[in-house]
Structure 1
């Protein structure tokens, strides 16, 4: 594949530009459909005249349909997009970037989605890719643990529905924060289980608890039942948050947040706060998975993106606890830059 791409670059360099334009157009249609030509031109930074020309081509190949309300992807177009993702990774050198980041972090796998989309859409693109990856990994008999957050909600949203039910169980990895119900771990667990045709169990407790209440809550039979499933989880997918933002979501006081900053906290995952060197500087009192539990889980997947989170991702992801990272191109390059890799 690499050899063919090098030949293409030398003999027909304009082909690469054409493919990149069509890929950008298809991805934007996927997220904004139905979308008009003018809006599509604005989103892609491609002239309206060229957008019209490329839409004619894509329509002729049966990949899109054009209506008065705008352009949408056909079923063929939706199925073709993941195949085009693979081709574009080779074309743009993303495979090489994945290998560089994998070696830098010391983990088993890194999956990077191509850039060229608006920041809000990049998170959806990470979710789309992570959903496909998760589907490939899951098999009957698995117990999947999930955490909450915006990126995880996108994974659940992007997961396609199974025609045949799977014999899997999905459970939240921790309690829920006091936030929108759509991004709570319970909601994400239920959504994934329903789409995959599996079963789910919910953890009806807040993420942060007073220490004296933990033993009382853990003694509850309904909580014990969920925790037993959680102990047997063989796949975990979780996100990474900015320390200050996550502290605010946990309703920490201004004084507590300032103390976290003084300790050098830059990231949060699973209720643990990390400094830039990856050292734990604070732990919330909670019921659910703890960091040491990750060592006993077969596959631990981190999904996180946005260049502003590069430092946070770098401080959290460790070969001691993690196997796979799914992120975006700009964030991957920022992580490598922070590590001095060019």
Structure 2
């Protein structure tokens, strides 16, 4: 079929991408869809006309949205995409390399397709619902990916007594992506309760002990250490240095020492070795040893180095990511294995 109609695969994947974007953004206007997907308006208009004629999307004054039949077809295409790209084989390979209990890979790359990040967040939410039990404690960190998980979390009544707690203090930035906010939103979706950590994440070393003596802060951190499940994001070293307000000299020093990923206030090189740590309030790396399920959620090929670094620490049990990140992590892992390390000469920055 591919030899007879070579463009068939490209057309199928493009329309699949459009349907996923409509599911994520709908109702959405054609111009917004064109902007989000980086396609020409003519191509989007033509494909939408065909999808509408097939009864897969509906047009309204607010834009296009999926029809009930479109939902069914898209679910089938999701399964087809997993088979076409051998996503199951990719999950198994990543799990074996990093010694993970489970890997879930969502088709696509969230760097180039915003609907993939939402799909990844929905999968993370579904996974949480499948493992949380009555009386469990769920600890969460902050960040845009986990904020998306909270937003996309299935809203049906969960009917279990789950307590959600922030695993880290706040970074004093956008309130929507702080751990406290995410804890509240997830608790509401779960029908459970929450506790708040009223403390900054980054503080001067001389103040950490004093802050940790405050009873309410100490109690919430103690609760997070008893978590059954920890859900956390992964940041690139440079991005997290910027969010923490580190000066240029410190940031350049991190990069010079090979820092590529960050989690829990620690900066790691590609081998998972700590090259720098901040004095901070919240769970620390050694606390993860006592948590049954440590679940990392991150995607986009631009985060592959960071994901490689954090998974190489051996502290994660489950990784939820997208295909773009997963395939690049596999290539990077192979390159670090054959080259015996990572240097600027062979980093895959493209």
1:190 has 2:180 as partner: no
Note the 1:20-31 alignment, pairs <5 A.
Answer: 20=13, 23-31=16-24
* CA distance 1:152–1:65, shift in 2 (3 Å): same
Displacement of 1:18 in angstroms is 7.3
* CA distance 1:265–1:121, shift in 2 (3 Å): same
TM-score under structure 2 length normalisation: 0.84
* CA distance 1:286–1:19, shift in 2 (3 Å): same
The answer on whether the counterparts of 1:105 and 1:317 sit within 8 Å (CA) in structure 2 is yes
* CA distance 1:127–1:164, shift in 2 (3 Å): closer
Which of residues 45, 62, 72 is equivalent to 1:69? 62
Note the 1:244-283 alignment, pairs <5 A.
Answer: 244-283=238-277
Displacement of 1:334 in angstroms is 0.9
The answer on whether the counterparts of 2:98 and 2:314 sit within 8 Å (CA) in structure 1 is no
Which of residues 49, 54, 67 is equivalent to 1:57? 54
* CA distance 1:277–1:52, shift in 2 (3 Å): same
* CA distance 1:82–1:285, shift in 2 (3 Å): farther
Match of 1:96 in 2: 89
Match of 2:146 in 1: 152
The answer on whether the counterparts of 2:137 and 2:226 sit within 8 Å (CA) in structure 1 is yes
The answer on whether the counterparts of 2:155 and 2:190 sit within 8 Å (CA) in structure 1 is yes
* CA distance 1:164–1:83, shift in 2 (3 Å): farther
* CA distance 1:33–1:242, shift in 2 (3 Å): same
Displacement of 1:113 in angstroms is 1.0
Which of residues 16, 20, 45 is equivalent to 1:48? 45
Quote the Cα distance in structure 2 between the aligned partners of 1:209 and 1:136. Answer: 36
1:35 has 2:28 as partner: yes
Which of residues 168, 188, 193 is equivalent to 2:162? 168
TM-score under structure 1 length normalisation: 0.86
* CA distance 1:177–1:306, shift in 2 (3 Å): same
Quote the Cα distance in structure 1 between the aligned partners of 2:89 and 2:326. Answer: 11
Quote the Cα distance in structure 1 between the aligned partners of 2:34 and 2:254. Answer: 44
DSSP 3-state at the match of 1:246: helix
Quote the Cα distance in structure 2 between the aligned partners of 1:79 and 1:318. Answer: 38
Displacement of 1:216 in angstroms is 1.7
Note the 1:298-313 alignment, pairs <5 A.
Answer: 298-313=292-307
Offset from partner CA, 1:56-78 (integer Å, 9 cap, x none): 2234xxxx432133211356755
**Most deviating of 287-296 and 145-154:** 287-296
Quote the Cα distance in structure 2 between the aligned partners of 1:41 and 1:212. Answer: 52
Structure 2: give runs of 5+ residues left out of the alignment.
336-350
Displacement of 1:135 in angstroms is 1.8
Match of 2:200 in 1: 206
Quote the Cα distance in structure 1 between the aligned partners of 2:48 and 2:109. Answer: 16
Match of 1:110 in 2: 103
Displacement of 1:80 in angstroms is 7.0
* CA distance 1:183–1:78, shift in 2 (3 Å): farther
* CA distance 1:49–1:210, shift in 2 (3 Å): closer
* CA distance 1:266–1:319, shift in 2 (3 Å): closer
Offset from partner CA, 1:195-226 (integer Å, 9 cap, x none): 11110001111111222222221121211221
Count of paired positions:
330
**Most deviating of 290-299 and 85-94:** 85-94
